[in-house]
Amino acid sequence: MKPEPSLPARSPMSVNAPPAGGLGATLGPGGRIQHYELIRPLGSGGMGTVFLARDTRLGRRVAIKVLLTEDAQFAQRFLLEARTTARCNHENIVIIHEVGEVQGSPYMVLEYLQGQPLNKVLKASPRLPPPRAVELMSPVLRALSCAHAHKIVHRDLKPENIIVTDSGTIKVLDFGIAKVLQSDEQRGELSPRSLLEGLRLLPSTGAQGDATHLTRQGALMGTLAYMSPEQWGNGIPVDHRTDIWAVGIILFRMLTGRHPLEPLRGPQLMVTAALDEPMPLIRSVVPDVPVELASAVDRCLLKHKDQRFPDAVAVLRALEPFLPGRYMPDAGLDESPYAGLGSFQESDSARFFGRARETAALVNRLQDQPLVAVVGPSGAGKSSFVRAGVVPVLKRSGVPWESLIIRPGRDPLGALATMVAPLVTSSPTLEEDLRKQQQISEHLRKQPGYVGAVLRARARRERRRIVLFIDQFEELYTLVPDVRERRAFTACLSGIADDATSPIRVVLSVRSDFLDRVQEDERFMSELAPGLFFLTTPQKEGLRDALVQPAEMAGYRFESPAMVDQMIQHLETTPGALPLLQFAAMRLWEARDPSRRMLTESAYQQLGGIAGALATHADSVLAGMSPQERALARAAFLRLVTPERTRAIVSLEELRELTRDGDELQRIIDSLVQARLLVIQTGQGTAGSSVELVHESLISGWPTLKRWLDEGQEDAAFLEQLRSAARQWQGKARDSGLLWRGEMADEARRFQRRFRGELPATQKAFLDAVSAQATRLARLKKTFILGAVVMLTLLFTAAAVALVFIREAKQEAEHQAVIALRAEATARNAEFLARRSAAEAEERLAEVRAKEVDRQEAQLRAEEASAAVEAANSTLMLRNNELIDALKRARWARFHATQATVRAEQSAQVARQARAQAEKLLQREQERALRLQSALGSPFIENLK
């Protein structure tokens, strides 16, 4: 879990003072202070505790610092901290929301900061590169400048009191022993010896374990390692230059990894008060520190405060040339400091401005998050942010980093294989390299963890960390139709960024409107969700830095502040502001006034402002083309936009299919590339070059292209279907079974009638084949209909002939009817005779039937009787069998009874014999008793009884 040093650092407090036990016992999770609900304690010192709390009115989290002591001096100092902090309203100073009192103990409510103190940053990287050290210290100097402007001296500036938040902001904390100049705070200072005699120390929390924090009772205010000579009580008053000394100590530690007076500890550091003994020079410890930077640090550490920098602003001005990306004004005057419509690359980090806070936040996120997605709208500068912002900062962090960059394209696994192949093998021939890349691509489908294993092995072998940047991640959904291919790619990414302890980090850039598409792989989405980093268009100050600072670094300036304000005001409400800003600034640079070293307002007006810069440029390029060239350029632009209105990566060979004159198309593409409207990516190996729009802002910011897209909106989806169908048809050797039929064939013929553009040869051949097939089917249909008509005619003729025959047959039938009537009369007489004969026959038949019925009934009764006899016989047989079984059982029972009787008689005989023996034995015993009675006498027998 990420540490949460999101509160003011502990003020020096005495551990010997008695805490207010009653209040301390009532404060805890779930407790309340006014309308603040305590969540959990964040830290505690000898005199107080800091809680994370919830503001129930405003719905925000805050830090509440409660003083748990009855010491009036500490209470006074606590209130002083609240007053001094509240007076300094600055983005780099912690915000205090409220001061109050609970059960007699004062408390203050401060903003809740999530991040880590600077000492932990230095612990991870003890020695920082100069640009990174200056980048961290510049916000601190701005905070000190604000405090000094309010006549406030911090007096306890140290890494523990500087917080690097997760959002990249630097915050200065803990004004608990701040000195308000020209106030009652200036009491008499004691000598160093008397101070040390009454000194009470707090245990250090540092790695060295020395005691460095001094108490108020000792009157020596500050932390020993960062105290200036005048803080040691040599009679010199303390002012704002005391904080400049602390800045010098912190910078010395950042650049060298050690304190200037190391190995001195604790009270040994009192040597700082000896004004005649200079501090060690930084280049004597680290000779490779730039001379100007070393001079600035050494000047901060001059023991005579009048020789130091006069104020924090002067220190900041001396350090600014060493900020990341700064270069000398007289360098590269002929080269534009603006990127135009192209993305910033890592080599452009010197001219990348306006994203310092976001860069620091993402670098901080990458410390414990292996998979991060930079999510933002089109034109937010996601690619530039990672390439020219994050990656260079990682490489300047003091830890060795290697960056790898790919785009998914149409073959995402192939892109991974192309990246991995050089890391695992090298072949003497190009054909062998391509074959191995294909093998790796197939291997990734079966073992998605292979890429992660290769990268981790390389990181361990090279002793460095690796950041893999997947640029334009939305191409996975716009250019890859196969969901299995997409899942295989995301599975590989999960295998790369699998744990925070891994030396590998994966960063994606994805348009925010494609974020919901990631949900199709639930596992990958769950791993990606904690690392979502939303990047929006920079705020006003960020846009100003991106616009003004590149020109200033090249030694130029804008003619008027109003001109800059007008540009910023327009960009604040413009989607895709960054590419428009860069393009407009680049055009201004091209029209600059070298004699006055100025970007002029007249050039800006001629440009048409921010809104007209891109459209004017693109339209001017089209205006220089012939009608035929413009038609071909339109076809190319439309082909380079997907139906979802995103950039499409199209091979140069595919674009050449738009016309039979490939040379003419090549000339048009070359002119558009030279005009910075298109960009060509050179393919690797035998892979051809690909073409794409230089930036997506052309899709929404160029009215001409937008009109073309609107006009061809209906055709866009059809063309995408046509490309896919034609590709399959061509790949299957033009199989007629893949040609469209029915409604799709009708739509194809309508498209051919309305479309006036050029189509690639394969697509045109496909449509021709569909049309030819539809024509053949139509002819067959016509032939079938004609045959049906002829058949119906023949049937009608046959029916007419049949009617003639039917009429003649009717006449013949009438003649035959007369004959039939005569025959009917004769038949009636015969019928009467037949009926009478039939009646007689029926009577005889009835008699025969009656006899037959009687015979059948008798036979039935005989059969029933036979059946009854058989049933009775079966019953008798069954009962006979049962009687036989019963007889057998009886015989066995009698046998067993006889045996039992014999055994009983034998037992009785034995019993009678035993009884006889017992009676004999009793008789002998009685006789013996009588003999004994006679021998012993009657009295003895009575006694014996």
Three state DSSP letters for 671-724 = HHHHCCCEEEECCCCCCCCEEEECCCHHHHHCHHHHHHHHHCHHHHHHHHHHHH
Residue 216 CB neighbour total at 10 angstroms: 20
For position 188, what pLDDT does the model report? 40
| CA distance linking residue 551 with residue 545, whole number of Å | 10
For position 754, what pLDDT does the model report? 62
Helices (H), 202-305: 241-256, 291-300
213-214 and 201-202 strand pairing: antiparallel
Q: How far is CA 118 from each of CA 62, 102, 137, 253, 869, rounded to the nearest angstrom?
A: 21, 32, 10, 11, 117
557-558 and 598-599 strand pairing: parallel
Contact status, residue 8 vs residue 63, Cβ threshold 8 Å: yes
For position 758, what pLDDT does the model report? 62
| CA distance linking residue 332 with residue 343, whole number of Å | 19
Residue 485 CB neighbour total at 10 angstroms: 16
DSSP string of 524-570, one letter each residue = HHHHHGGGEEE-----HHHHHHHHHHHHHHTT-EES-HHHHHHHHHH
The three-state secondary structure class of 468 is: strand
| CA distance linking residue 286 with residue 252, whole number of Å | 10
For position 243, what pLDDT does the model report? 94
| CA distance linking residue 527 with residue 522, whole number of Å | 9
Average pLDDT across each block of 10 residues of the chain; the chain has 945 residues. List them in order: 38 35 65 90 77 90 84 72 75 86 84 87 81 89 90 89 84 75 44 35 34 40 86 84 94 93 88 88 92 94 93 91 60 68 82 86 88 88 92 84 91 89 69 76 89 92 93 90 92 90 93 88 92 88 86 86 86 71 86 90 82 79 88 86 81 78 82 79 58 78 82 64 77 79 74 64 78 79 79 79 77 77 75 76 79 81 80 81 82 82 82 83 84 70 51
Give burial (CB, 10 Å; 0-12/13-18/19+) of 130.
Answer: buried
Residue 346 CB neighbour total at 10 angstroms: 17
For position 506, what pLDDT does the model report? 96
| CA distance linking residue 462 with residue 467, whole number of Å | 14
For position 326, what pLDDT does the model report? 58
| CA distance linking residue 827 with residue 822, whole number of Å | 9
Q: Widest CA span of the chain, in angstroms?
A: 169
Which residues are annotated binding-site positions for ATP? Answer: 65
Amino acid at 758: E
Token couple for 530: 């904690």
Radius of gyration of the chain (CA): 53
Which residues are annotated binding-site positions? Answer: 65
- The torsion defined by the Cα of 290, 296, 301 and 306, in degrees rounded to 10, comes to 160
Q: Which domains does the chain have, with CATH numbers?
A: 21-322 (1.10.510.10), 355-537 (3.40.50.300)
Token couple for 23: 């209040």
| CA distance linking residue 29 with residue 765, whole number of Å | 75
Active site residues: 156
For position 929, what pLDDT does the model report? 82
